[in-house]
Amino acid sequence: MSIAIKVPAVGESITEVTIGQWFKNDGDYVEMDEVICELESDKATFELAAEAAGVLKIKGQEGDTLEIGAVICEIDTEGSQAPSTPEGPAETSAETKKTGSGEVKDMVVPTVGESITEVTLATWLKGDGEYVELDEIIAEVDSDKATFELPAEASGILRHVAKEGDTLEIGGLICQIVESGEPSSGVGDSKGTLMNTPGVERSEVAGKESYATGHASPAAAKILAEKGIEASSVKGTGKDGRITKEDAESAQKAAIAPAKAAAGSAPVESKSASPVVEGDRNMRREKMSSLRRTISKRLVAAKNETAMLTTFNEVNMKPIMDLRKQYKDLFKDKYNVNLGFMSFFTKAACMALQEWPAVNAQIDGNEIIYHDFCDVSIAVSSPKGLVVPVIRNAEKMSFAEIEQEVVRLAVKARDGKLTIDEMTGGTFTLTNGGIFGSMMSTPIINAPQSAILGMHNIVERPMAVNGEVKILPMMYLALSYDHRIIDGRESVSFLVRVKQLLEDPTRLLIGV
């Protein structure tokens, strides 16, 4: 008896879905309530579970768009799981399966944060068919907030299920490991099974081409991409021909023959013909990372969903610079960290936020949430994109504690080691475009926060002081805010208070 599985109703306004991924193959035996495929609508992603146990017969392929109620597959309830034969082991739906060479361990995408529902497989660090050790890092996965390493859950032969660039839900199958006591000397055949060849030494097998041949490591791939060099043009010196970081660093672009030499003695067709353009005109196309896509969506949403305005002011940085010059050596000797500008701006912002609580608030539906604490987000540029780690309860910290926390978070951001908790829950954001030379900008609000303070570079300018012209180190400050919750009086007063505290840093110490 066959049961027809139809596309279920997944929402009042959704009329069709797309088959994103089949987790089971045509002819596989499935258990009742086992997740067999993934469906995507224009709003969300859903999992489809088997309505009975039996043999799966797939009707729709990955990428097909089906209407609600359409038949997506059938399950033959009279079918049974086929036993293993010499031609190939039968697959089962259990998490761990027996095969001729050992047990098969299914590895699924682990839970990496409460608010994260899917990840993107960024890079396979181990090739399909390679032997991996327990807890060895085999892949990197990107979420919309950070990058995580995936360790092997068993020792054995790795079998890729997902490809680089695939987006998987939490709990989705990412790979399998054929457990075995030691690395196999066999090589994979066209069906993906292992062939143990008597009399063939491991060194001979390793000399043959494999998945690793011509495949660049993550570090090497990044270097080659920056140079605009194709991996196929580089000879790898690593294991099984893998392209190492050293190979990428020493790789050079192939020489391009001059256009004139290629043309030889060809006659000139017309004086009006387009001139020959000499030099490299290479182009490359790269897929956006999950983090970059999420940043893009959130920035556009912030522009579209908030009544964002920006107000400007300028601050004389000479008092802070004189104070730093006088005490920086003593400060570093005592606290083992430099006395930077960020601690002054953080302390000034916290004092001003407590005086103007609307700037530290956020909108939630028809309500406004006010915070009695200051969790200050610090925008940091990392190799994978902009991240915003949070300094918790910054209003209670000393200058040294703030500087130490800034250094700790910045190092973790550059190394890609920030956790989800360290990047969520901020109430106000500081961003310093001045370190890149920015003179003035209008920073975008870090939703759901209601304001962000932008710092810029320090430039000596002639200023009128008590009727005299003096050359002073000046910085422009920019406060972008959501006009739905913050009025002009509050935004301007907040920025003026920050300016007042920075130009007289003694106020920060005595709290006036």
Q: Where are the beta strands (DSSP E) in 100-207?
A: 102-108, 118-124, 131-132, 137-142, 147-151, 156-160, 167-169, 173-179, 187-188, 194-195
Q: What tokens does 89 get?
A: 């082991």
487 as an active site residue: the answer is yes
For residue 478, the cross-strand partners are 312, 454
- Helix/strand/coil for 378: strand
Residues 320, 341 contacting (CB under 8 angstroms): yes
Query: Pick the catalytic residue: 26, 135, 415, 487?
Result: 487
- Please choose, from the candidates 289, 456, 311, the residue with its C-alpha nearest in 3D space to the C-alpha of residue 387: 289
Q: Which helix (H) or strand (E) holds 35?
A: strand 35-40
Q: Which helix (H) or strand (E) holds 354?
A: helix 341-355
For residue 313, the one-letter residue type is N
- Cis peptide, bond prior to residue 448, ω within 30 of zero: yes
Q: Round to the nearest angstrom and report the end-to-end CA distance of the chain.
A: 81
Query: Pick the catalytic residue: 64, 329, 483, 504?
Result: 483
Measured CA to CA, the distance from residue 150 to residue 140 in angstroms comes to 6
Residues 159, 175 contacting (CB under 8 angstroms): yes
Lookup result for tokens 């959130």: 298
The DSSP output letter for 398 is -
The 65-67 sheet, strands edge to edge: 45-49, 35-40, 16-22, 65-67
456 as an active site residue: the answer is no
Residues 88, 193 contacting (CB under 8 angstroms): yes
Q: How many CB atoms lie within 10 A of CB 349?
A: 27
Residues with catalytic function: 483, 487
